[in-house]
Amino acid sequence: MMSEFMCFRVLSFLCLSQYVLLSQANFQCGIRQHGIRPLIGSGWQVEKGHWPWHVAVFKRNDKSEKFEYCCGGTLVNEKHVLTAAHCVVKQHSKYSLPALFYEIELHIGQQNLSEVSDNVVIRDVSKIHEHPDYKPNENDIAVLVMRLPVEYSSTVIPICLDQNVDRDLRELEGERGWVTGWGKTENGILSEVLRTASLPVVKHLECLLNDRLLFGHVLNDNVFCAGNRNGRTSPFPGDSGGGMYFNDGDRWILRGIIAFGKINELR
């Protein structure tokens, strides 16, 4: 049975304080606003508001001029979204250049990928801050600044950031986090509905033993590895850029961004 693992970039490089804004009245980061039915198993479809901080990142197609879904992202306050840098850079030459701000569109609160319901908030981007040392296999993280702030609702709420920026990643080993997205299904097409899965954090050694050549280039002190061996519940292409969420009492905390995985063409 094929093993499937993902690498997640941690957020310790961020100057977190500059991205923390005051919460709007009656809303707190990482706390959902209505009852959520518990999920059984993983790889399941979720209902509206289950992950109100998940963002769909759309990129303008150079040929058709239409916006097309490319990646996930995570809302961290009313003006900022975190995603993977490779989702918002151009790879036309040997240099990676940030996409122009008008080439990116964000959908917050979206459930069905092809349906924009009344609860979906759409924002364009005014600035893109990729990690200054970004390379395809290193520092794969970017901050997107929305031109207009979002108004929080039951389907649009920011997640909390992990304030322990000096955390030893070995502390996470054995913990289970959640990922979500519209990644490609086994049929090779994007899922129409938002789906979610629970993944355990595993030791670096487990990923290296699975594929030393592949993971040896990306694993370091700023990356942790997570995944299952059942061949079904790991993130798929299209989930990249989304976050990995961990429950901390009554709140959910963002501790990583999907950046790299051993599954089909997602590399």
Task: Note the pLDDT tens digit of each residue in 71-114.
Answer: 999 999 999 999 999 898 876 544 455 556 678 999 999 988 88
Report pTM: 0.83
Q: What is the pLDDT of residue 2?
A: 34
| pLDDT, position 138 | 78
Catalytic residues: 86, 140, 240
Instruction: Give the pLDDT score at 6.
Output: 54
User: In the CATH scheme, what architecture does the domain 161-261 have?
Assistant: Beta Barrel (2.40)
Asked if 242 and 74 count as a contact pair (C-beta separation under 8 A), the reply is yes
Write 39-42 long-range contacts (CB < 8 A, 24+): 39/196, 39/198, 42/196, 42/197, 42/198, 42/199, 42/228, 42/233
Instruction: Please state, as a whole number, how many other Cβ atoms lie within 10 Å of the Cβ of residue 225.
Output: 29
Question: Contact at 8 Å (CB) between 169 and 226?
Answer: no
pLDDT at 27: 87
Listed in sequence order, the residues at least 6 apart from 115 whose beta carbon sits closer than 8 Å to its beta carbon are none
Give the number of other Cβ atoms within 10 Å of residue 245's Cβ.
24
User: For strand 251-261 and strand 160-161, is the pairing parallel, antiparallel, or unpaired?
Assistant: parallel
Q: Is 136 left (phi over 0), alpha (psi -120 to 50) or beta?
A: alpha
Whether the predicted pLDDT of 224 surpasses 90: no
CATH entry 2.60.120.370 includes domain 13-30+52-158 = no
pLDDT in tens, 7-65: 555 554 444 334 444 456 678 999 988 655 555 444 677 888 899 999 999 998 878 88
Mean of pLDDT values over 167-190: 78
**Mean pLDDT in residue range 234-240:** 60
| Residues carrying CATH 2.40.10.10, the chain | 13-30+52-158, 161-261
- How far is CA 219 from each of CA 1, 17, 139, 202, rounded to the nearest angstrom? 23, 27, 11, 12
